[in-house]
Structure 1
Amino acid sequence: MSASDTLKLEKGARAWLITTGFQPTHEPLWVEALTHGSTGEDRDYQRLEFLGDRVLGLTIADWLFGELTGAEGALAQRLNALVSKRTCASVARSIGIAKHVRLGKQARDDGAANSDNVLGDVMESLLGAAFLDSGFTATQSLIRTLWAGEHGGGAGKSKHPKSALQEWAAGNQRRPPRYELVDRSGPDHAATFTVRVTVNNVGSAQATASSKQEAETAAAENFMETFG
């Protein structure tokens, strides 16, 4: 048995986890989930973060699928917003993770405890630990509780059409959308622009407007209505 297998949570960290809704039974697992690589210890949260990210993604996807009747594009847009690093960091802040993250002195002095990347990563690592220690059903229930505010809010509901298309393409393992000006007509004071947007191996859509930017936006919106 290695030294890391006998690690114990600090009393305050254990009480905080229980109050938050976690059920820390195998304590070394939770110590690992709270440990940043800057400590130089044998184990840090990266592997648990990898696992927690997948548990979170499946939980949110199942949640959205059961509640929304929109097309795949709308579901993907909401999913991407709710599992984003920013949202994970927001949830982490709401439950006070920052004071319990185990950091090396330099990382703490540099403000890592308040970094979106660190907080989001630790949030996911705790979900990974919860999955291993308590199982999927308990973790799924906890995620629904912790994410209730984000789910009920505006995350991913209203997004600029070009941003929504960009996320849709990424979520479906496609190359980024390609915008092409296919026509410009009329005098300078009353010009019209026609833009085509294409996603490789999916299709294309186009729109005409009084500026190139507006045409790109309308084309992205037309694409999502057709293919999303």
Structure 2
Amino acid sequence: MKISQDLKDFQLRLGHEFARPELLSRSVTHSSMSSATRPDNQRLEFLGDRVLGLVMAEALLSEDKGAKEGQLAPRFNALVRKETCADVAREIDLGAVLKLGRSEQMSGGRRKMALLGDAMEAVIAAVYLDAGFEAAKALVLRLWEARIAEVEADARDAKTALQEWAQARRLAPPAYVETERSGPDHAPLFTIAARLETGEEARAKASSKRAAEQSAARALLDRLSQDSAK
């Protein structure tokens, strides 16, 4: 199958040359432009969402081998949400090659977050079907590299993130209270409680006060994130 010059240029931006270019063409075809002979990208979107999720889960586990599920979940959600996929799509100008019906074009479909996010997931699936999981994984890690580093940096500096969360809601800065100290003098174990003036609290133990404070702040952030999602 021959593809247009704009799709050839897109392959360069994407960093993957398709052995089966019909997969690329399908991945950028919106339902408003589909027909009996031109399938849309919805099935690919479904698959790409799962491929992206697996790659991100592996990446987060590799980056932070000591993180618990409750700590990993908000980072994972930040990396795979539709808004993030749309941002990546904009960086590689995916909108320029979307195949849209007239109504979608007239309503600014090439800039819509939902359309861009869906198409990005479909493109990931197209690469997976074209060249296998390792190729799709390499693509995702390259396109998401800065975001993975950023979300991990935010996780490591949890005290700053918690203080910013409180400031955004016009609350006093979090308090860190030593509630227990155990172990011998040469190897103490500190228990620190991170507290907000509204009463929310989380505790953590570590061999240094600084580490315990960071862990407590991270635990409290995770709890706040889970509560807001309910």
Instruction: Give the superposition deviation at 1:108.
Output: 0.8
Q: Which residue pairs with 2:57 in the alignment?
A: 61
CA distance in 2 between counterparts of 1:222 and 1:76 reads: 12
* Closer/same/farther in 2, CA of residues 23 and 70 from structure 1, 3 Å limit: same
Structure-2 residue corresponding to 1:99: 96
Q: Does 1:34 align with 2:28?
A: yes
Amino acid at match of 1:221: L
* Structure 1 residues 20 and 222, CA gap change in structure 2 (3 angstroms): closer
2:5 to 6, 11, 20: 11
List, as ranges, runs of 4+ consecutive aligned residues in structure 1 with deviation greater than 6 Å.
Answer: none
In 2 relative to 1, CA 32–223 (structure 1 residues): closer, same or farther, beyond 3 Å? closer
- Per the TM alignment, residue 98 of structure 1 is displaced from its structure 2 partner at its CA by 0.8
| 1:87 matched to 2:84 | yes
Maintained 8 Å contact 1:55/1:127 = yes
1:48 CA displacement: 0.4
Mapped to 2, the partners of 1:13 and 1:88 lie a distance apart of 19
| Residue number in structure 1 paired with 2:110 | 113
Question: 1:113–1:223: structure 2 CA closer, same or farther, 3 Å change rule?
Answer: closer
Matches within 5 A, 1:148-167: 148-154=145-151, 157=155
Gaps of 5+ in 2: 166-193, 203-218
Shift of 1:154: 3.8
Instruction: Spell out, residue by residue over 1:167-207, the C-alpha distance to the aligned partner (whole angstroms, 9 max, x if none).
Output: xxxxxxxxxxxxxxxxxxxxxxxxxxxxxxxxxxxxxxxx9
Provide the C-alpha distance between the structure 2 equivalents of 1:222 and 1:97, rounded to a whole number of angstroms.
34
Describe how 1:170-189 pairs up with structure 2 within 5 A. none
* Residue aligned with 2:16, SS: coil
> Equivalent residues in 2 for 1:174-213 (5 A)?
none
How many residues align? The count is 172
The alpha carbon displacement at 1:209 in A equals 7.0
The answer to whether the 8 Å contact 2:71/2:222 transfers is no
Following TM superposition, by how much is the alpha carbon of 1:35 offset from its aligned partner in structure 2, in angstroms?
0.2
CA RMSD of the aligned region, Å? 2.9
Query: SS in structure 1 opposite 2:9?
Result: helix
Q: Does 1:50 align with 2:46?
A: yes
Q: 1:37-82 CA distances to partner (integer Å, 9 max, x unpaired)? A: 1114231010001111111000010011111121111111111110
Give SS of 1:31's match: helix
**CA–CA separation in structure 1 for the residues paired with 2:128 and 2:221:** 41
1:20 matched to 2:14: yes
CA contact (8 A) 1:23 1:133 kept: no
Relative distance call for 1:78 and 1:39 in structure 2 (3 A) is same
- CA distance in 1 between counterparts of 2:149 and 2:195 reads 35
Q: Distance in 1 between matches of 2:8 and 2:30?
A: 17
- Equivalent residue letter for 1:10: S
User: Which residue matches 1:204?
Assistant: none
1:9 deviation in Å?
2.3
1:28 partner letter: E
Contact 1:14–1:24 (Cα < 8 Å) also in 2:
no
Q: Structure 1: give runs of 5+ residues left out of the alignment.
A: 1-5, 164-206
Contact persistence 2:18–2:24 (CA under 8 A): yes
Counterpart amino acid of 2:11?
L
* Aligned-partner SS, 2:75: helix
Cα distance in 1 for residues equivalent to 2:94 and 2:221: 42
Q: Could you tell me which residue of structure 2 aligns to residue 221 of structure 1?
A: 220
Alignment partners' CA distance in 1, 2:108 and 2:35: 20
